[in-house]
Amino acid sequence: MTETCVKIIYWNVRGLNCPVKRGDVKWVLRKFACDVAILQESKLEVVGCPVVVSLWGRRQVLWPFLPSVGRSAGIIIIWDPQFFELEDFKIGSFSVCCKFKSLHDSFVWGFIRVYGHDNDRLRDALFEELMTFISIWDIPWCLSHDFNVVRFPSERALGGRLTSTMSEFSDFIDSCNLIDLPLEGGRFTWSSHEEVPVLS
């Protein structure tokens, strides 16, 4: 059985309205020759073909997107249709869900990019949306996420205690039979960028 290896780049681009920023993104995507690119915090309410081509560098490209809300959020998923066929997709309130078929071996898999709200009251709605998407198709799933929540106190620089929100996040992962991959290359993925930063 041939293994399917997919090179995915995820990048919080912090806005794509500037042509210079789009040029920088295009350079990185070309350098690392990714199969799928997920661009978070696009801050774009509409994502048209000229913008995507300026990022991907080729006209053969597909891209579902979750529009920004004002000047925040926004997700774009970009890939080359010569390598992956999009069999179906869903756009939710917090996520973009794609069902792909790899054209070289017909492997079918699902991908969800998540943008979690930092409002605890909306987190239940996020988990419900994701569980609904995952239940639609009986296929392997990959979730690329910014849940704005951690599972354990050790995932925060300041530590603290195990909270109900952390437990609910772990319950969601377990109920969906997902694997929380270990972080490599550093202990934290987020910083407040203050003089004394908060890290998690």
Q: Which domains does the chain have, with CATH numbers?
A: 8-148 (3.60.10.10)
pTM of the predicted model as reported, rounded to 2 decimal places = 0.80
What is the C-alpha separation between 165 and 150, in angstroms, rounded?
Answer: 8
CB 156, CB 162: distance < 8 Å: no
Q: Where are the beta strands (DSSP E) in 92-198?
A: 95-102, 108-115, 141-146
- Given a contact cutoff of 8 angstroms between Cβ atoms, the answer to whether 126 and 94 are in contact is yes
Per-10-residue mean pLDDT of the chain, 200 residues long, equals 73 89 92 90 91 87 87 86 92 93 91 80 87 94 80 72 84 88 65 58
Strand partners, 62: 79
What tokens does 93 get?
A: 């309130």
For helices 120-136 and 164-175, angle between their N-to-C axes, nearest 10 degrees: 0
Selection from 130, 101, 114 nearest residue 38 by Cα: 114
In this predicted structure, what is the pLDDT of residue 48? 92
Given this model, what pLDDT does residue 58 score?
Answer: 81
Look at the block and give the residue holding tokens 């990959």. 142
How far is it, in rounded angstroms, from Cα 103 to Cα 108?
9
Q: Give the pLDDT confidence score for residue 27 in this predicted structure.
A: 94
What pLDDT, on the 0 to 100 scale, is given for residue 144? 80
d(CA 197, CA 190): 10
pLDDT of residue 192: 56
pLDDT for the residue 182: 72
